[in-house]
Amino acid sequence: MVKHEDGGASVDAMLEDLRTLVETESPSRDVESLKGSAGAVAALVERRLGGRAALVESPAGPHVHWSGGGEPRVLVLGHHDTVFPLGTLARRPFRVEGGRATGPGVYDMLGGLVQAVHGLAALDDLAGVEVLVTADEEVGSHHSRALIEERARACGAVLVFEGAAEGGHLKIARKGCGTFEVFVRGRASHAGLEPEAGVNALVEAAHQVLDIAALNRPEAGTTVTPTVAAAGTTDNVVPAEAVVTVDVRVETDEERRRVEAAFAALTPHLEGARVAVTGSVNRPPMPAAVAEGLLAQAQRLLPGVGGVAVGGGSDGNFTAALGVPTLDGLGAVGGGAHADHEYLVVGAMVERAHLAAGLVGSLQR
C-alpha cells in the first residue's frame, strides 16, 4: 500500500539525492572511489527506507545489499559504478536546467537508483523487498554475478532500474554480450635492413580483423565488431606483438555457441605467427518471455508504456537467463548513456517512482 495519494515522491528531494550520488564519483575499477559511492548509496537507502544496508566487499569494490525482512519476493537491482573517469565531474558538474539533469551517471544509472529508493519509501510495508546495488556492472559483473543470481533465485522476481529505452519504454529483451581479445605474436626485425626476417604481427592482426568481421550475422541479430587495436613499438621495427579487442552481441544461445567456437578456431595467416584468444559472451541473451507478466502489470500502472528489445546488456541478462521474471529499463527517462551529453528528464522522475512503488507493491502480495 502506498503511504500518500501523491506517492510520497518529491522532485526536489530526489534531485538532492541524485546530486549527492553524482558528486560522489564512481568510476569502475577505482576501488577507493567505489568505496565512497557505496557508502553514499548505503546512506541514501538507510535514510529513506530505514534499517541497515550491508556493504558486501569484493575485489571490484563494495556492493550494497538491503532487505526489508520477511520472505524474499522481489529484488530491486542496480549498480553504482559508472564509465566516467575520476575528474569528469570537474568538467561536467551536476546541473538542472531546462527540465533536464546532467552530470556523469545521471541516466546510467544513478537516477534510476534514486527513483527506486523514493518509490520504495512510499510503501507502508517493505517486507519481502531486497535492494542490491553492485560495483562492477559496467565492466562485466564478474565479482557480483554469483550474488545477483543467488538473490534473484531467492526473490523470484527482479526489477532492474537501468535507464529507460527511447520514449521512456521498458526493456523486455537484451542481446547477450561479451568481449574477446585476440593476441598476435610475430617476430621483430629491422624494418629497413631486413624486414623479411620478421613476422609482422600488425599484418597478421589485419588478417584476423577481416576474419572476425566476417562472423557478423545481422540477419540473426549478431554483431561482431572489432573496436580497439594496438601493435608495434616504433616506426622502424617490424612489430612482434598486436592485440585486437572485439565486442560481440547475440540474440540467441545458438549464435553464442557459433561465435565462441569461431573465435576458438582462429588460425594464423602468416608463417611463424601465433594467435591466442581470451574472452566469451559472458552475459547470456535476455529473452522477452521472462518479462511478459511484469510488463503487463507495468502497463496497468502506467498506460501507454511499451516494452522493447535493446542491444545493450545489463545484470538483467543474468537473472532472466535463470528463468526468473525480470523487467528492465525501469530507471531514468533520458538518454546519452556513456556520453558527455547524458541527461535525465526531471519531469518523469515522480511518475517512474510511482511505477516502482506500484510494481513492488503488486509483487509483495
DSSP characters for 88-128? Answer: HHHHS--EEETTEEESTTIIIIIHHHHHHHHHHHTBS--TT
Pick from 158, 266, 156: which is nearest to 212 by CA?
Answer: 266
What's the confidence (pLDDT) of residue 6? 41
H-helix or E-strand spanning residue 189: strand 189-190
pLDDT in tens, 98-122: 999 999 999 999 999 999 999 999 9
**Is the predicted pLDDT of residue 8 greater than 80, yes or no?**
no
CA–CA gap between residue 33 and residue 41 (Å, rounded): 12
pLDDT in tens, 134-189: 999 999 999 999 999 999 999 999 999 999 999 999 999 999 999 999 999 999 99
Share of the chain above pLDDT 90, in %: 97
- Comparing 290 with 2, the larger pLDDT belongs to 290
Per DSSP, 286 falls in state: B
pLDDT in tens, 256-269: 999 999 999 999 99
Q: Predicted confidence band at 9 (pLDDT cuts at 50, 70, 90)?
A: confident
Q: Predicted confidence band at 2 (pLDDT cuts at 50, 70, 90)?
A: very low
Domains of the chain: 11-175+286-364 (3.40.630.10), 176-283 (3.30.70.360)
In this prediction the pTM is 0.91
